[in-house]
Amino acid sequence: MTELRTLKVALLGCGNVGAQVARILIEDADALAARTGARLQLSGIAVRNVNSKRDVELPQELFTTDAETLVKDADLVIELMGGIEPARTLILSALQNGACVVTGNKALLAQDGPTLYEAADKAGVQLSYEAAVAGAIPILRPIRDSLSGDRITRVLGIVNGTTNFILDQMDSTGAQFADALAEAQRLGYAEADPTADVEGHDAAAKAAILATLSFHTRFALENVHCEGITSVSAADIAAAKDAGFVIKLLAIAEKLTDADGGEGVSVRVHPTLLPREHPLAAVRGAFNAVFIEAENAGELMFYGQGAGGTPTASAVLGDLVSAARRLVLGGPQRTETTTGHVPALPIEAATTSYYIGLDVADQPGVLARIAQLFAEHGVSIEIMRQTIHKDAESNTESAELRIVTHRASEAALAATVEAVKGLDVINSVTSVLRVEGV
């Protein structure tokens, strides 16, 4: 066998994922070399404190605090520090030096992706980031390459395991949000400060990346409408369940055409009802899945582990081997195509179906008045169901009205809900939730 070329790999960051990447690079060195056509030599691991305790035992001499020097001498750089700086500066420096970069930094990509993509294009090197969305699930490469001859129309993703675990707990045990969050924290599925997950910020960054690749147009975090799950109540979950739905936090990117034929993309994250038969409804616990609709391919779904050190390390190493193969075989790389130039739409332009729960007076003509009001605002009702509750003690009756609409715009729905609130027969609007998959 001929002597294999050696490629130097610099690892920046040694947390949960980084430590597993380092372990696999060392343990599987021979198999990786056989598949790559080059030896991938871990030349160093940049960390803040070389003496920190780590879950995985790694050679002490690999650790350094001097990330800049490590990057200068590398053929391939893996960035797993997270955060904006110094990750951004180190990645740009690596790309300018001609190194290929693999990163899982969704926050940085969503905030300043274009700068990174341009630097990679200019240097003719590869920037890959499969690990940034949905952990171990191969989703970015299939969108970018396998579907490159198709037109994606819609992407629905369960891309945050923490919120999926919390919603799943609420659905299966009837727990309130706060209790389900506490359980998720106890089991290590949620961090001590869960804001980025439960407010939807993590999912929003991933939505921006998915939208950019799916619609060949750059979308940034500010183009993503974001609502978290903190206001989802046990009563919402119970009502959804009763009506045959499950509530999921979805990252959605879809192409919409307005009345004049103008195209735009709505990118958003919010709690969403899905029919229990929908493929995404069965995605339980901390698992992730991305559902794609394309003009020719039809419906596709990709399912797997969305987080965790070892699964995410698999995605990082897939990118690393692919980048290294290109270095061995030669030829420049292009990271994404952004020739679509479709505009990002505000949430008001999004259209979905809605589930609306109303507590109404139990008297004749109420249904008709409400139906009339929906019609006046151009919102078409698909299902309307009234349940009468009798209180034996007070001998009073109350009525609960559940409405599922056809697709309507956010603006029309908001106006409808405002008008409904003004009716004297309405005691309260108990829920307004979006529905997909019907």
In the complex, minimum distance from the CB of residue 294 to its own copies, in angstroms, rounded to a whole number: 6
**CA distances for 412 relative to 170, 260, 407, angstroms:** 30, 18, 10
Find out whether 21 and 319 touch, Cβ atoms under 8 Å: no
Specify the residue, 213 or 408, whose C-beta has the smaller distance to its own copies: 213
User: What whole-number distance in Å separates Cα of residue 214 and Cα of residue 141?
Assistant: 11
Distance spanning both ends of the chain, measured CA to CA: 58
Residue of 80, 46, 61, 85 lying closest to 313 (CA atoms): 80
User: What whole-number distance in Å separates Cα of residue 432 and Cα of residue 356?
Assistant: 5
Q: Considering the candidates 206, 241, 248, 421, report the single residue annotated as catalytic.
A: 206
Specify the residue, 154 or 201, whose C-beta has the smaller distance to its own copies: 154
The yes-or-no answer on residue 206 being catalytic is yes
User: What whole-number distance in Å separates Cα of residue 370 and Cα of residue 355?
Assistant: 14
Stretch that binds its own copies, among 54-62, 300-308, 343-351, 355-363 (CB under 8 A): 300-308
Residue 322 per-residue DSSP state: H
Instruction: Please report whether residue 339 would count as binding its own copies according to CB under 8 A.
Output: yes
Which amino acid belongs to residue 364?
P
Residue numbers 185-224 binding its own copies by CB under 8 A: 216
**Max Cα–Cα distance, the chain, nearest Å:** 90
Instruction: Please report whether residue 437 would count as binding its own copies according to CB under 8 A.
Output: no
In the complex, minimum distance from the CB of residue 143 to its own copies, in angstroms, rounded to a whole number: 9
Stretch that binds its own copies, among 3-11, 90-98, 140-148, 423-431 (CB under 8 A): 140-148
Instruction: Please report whether residue 321 would count as binding its own copies according to CB under 8 A.
Output: yes
Burial of 18 (0-12, 13-18, 19+ CB in 10 A): buried
Residue numbers 35-54 binding its own copies by CB under 8 A: 35-37
Specify the residue, 150 or 183, whose C-beta has the smaller distance to its own copies: 150
Instruction: Please report whether residue 15 would count as binding its own copies according to CB under 8 A.
Output: no
Specify the residue, 334 or 390, whose C-beta has the smaller distance to its own copies: 334
Specify the residue, 7 or 226, whose C-beta has the smaller distance to its own copies: 7
Neighbours of 245 (CB within 10 A): 25
Stretch that binds its own copies, among 109-117, 148-156, 162-170, 267-275 (CB under 8 A): 148-156
Find out whether 64 and 11 touch, Cβ atoms under 8 Å: no
Sequence-separated (6 or more) residues with CB below 8 Å from residue 60: 50
Among 153, 333, 398, 430, binds its own copies (CB under 8 A): 333
Residue 217 in tokens: 């147009």
In the complex, minimum distance from the CB of residue 158 to its own copies, in angstroms, rounded to a whole number: 13
Contacting positions for its own copies (CB under 8 A): 20, 24, 28, 31-32, 34-37, 130, 136-138, 141-142, 145-151, 216, 279, 282, 294, 296-305, 308, 310-311, 313-322, 325-326, 329-334, 337, 339-340
Active site residues: 206
